[in-house]
Amino acid sequence: MSYILPAIGVLLMFLTFSCKSKQKAQVESAVKKDLTEQEIRALPKIIAYSKSPCYGRCPTFKMTVYQDGWTIFEGKRFTVVEDTLVMQLTPAQLATLTEQCDKADIWSAEKSYGMRIQDLPTTTVHLYEGGKDKAIQWRARQPERLKNFDKQMMGFVIEQGWVAPRKGADKRKREVLPDVIIDNELIIQIDNTKEATEWALTYKQYGMQLKKPISKLANMYLFTFDVEAIDSKKMLALMKEDKSVKRVEFNKRMQQRTR
């Protein structure tokens, strides 16, 4: 009997050490090594979020989140990073993203909102879950829950330093103009002695660009500007003060007639 007890003690010590070693090995195996971009793209997707170009300086990019929080950001135009970057979300960030998707209720959303408004960027969200997927797009008139989701996603890409924050976004709110008005386009008739492209350079700090001539004979043109650099009504007022400007008004959308 005196020989059996020590033997049992040794066996218990061996089993304890063995279990701890297995647990340690499991923990170590759970910590993933850095994956290549190709390996990440082969993983199941969770969500893709992207912004299309617009007539102004809208940031254009695509961000795709894969299994285990692996994320690929592709900056294309007017982003701080115009390149492809790879990162892995922390468990907390991934949990927050999942919660945001649930609150946005993307599965019950319409496929598109406000897509006939041509001058705004298109936001696309593609959600993947359990073998299912759904893509939705909007330019305007999206539900409040999608506006909040968009704000949170943009906040994340800005926080990472991939996209620059909007100028003065924390100081003022843009005044909402009627839907018929295109708030970043002005029809301007300038003095006959002025050349349109050169005249626009006077306001280059506001992203002023010649879009197209309306009447070369009357020296009337359609210009675009950056609403992130200056409020639409302030830009209109600035044009009215310019002695070279004979006439100025916002461009308007064509109204669809109903029978």
**What is the dotted CATH code of the domain comprising 181-252?**
3.30.70.80
Looking at the chain, the domain(s) classified CATH 3.30.1560.10 span 37-159
What CATH superfamily is the domain 37-159? Answer: Mago nashi (3.30.1560.10)
Backbone angles phi, psi at 151, to 5 degrees: -60, -40
Indicate the DSSP class of residue 110: -
Helix, strand or coil, per DSSP, at residue 48: strand
Q: Which position has the token pair 């359990």?
A: 130
Per-residue pLDDT, 66: 98
| pLDDT tens, per residue, the chain with 259 residues | 444 444 444 444 444 444 444 444 333 333 446 899 999 999 999 999 999 998 778 899 999 999 999 999 999 999 998 999 999 999 999 999 999 999 999 999 999 998 887 778 899 999 999 899 999 999 988 999 999 999 999 999 999 999 988 765 444 455 667 878 999 999 999 998 889 999 998 888 788 999 999 998 999 999 999 888 788 988 998 899 888 999 999 999 876 554 5
Mean predicted lDDT score pLDDT of the chain: 83
Tokens of 220: 């009337």
Rounded to two decimals, the pTM is 0.56
Looking at the chain, the domain(s) classified CATH 3.30.70.80 span 181-252
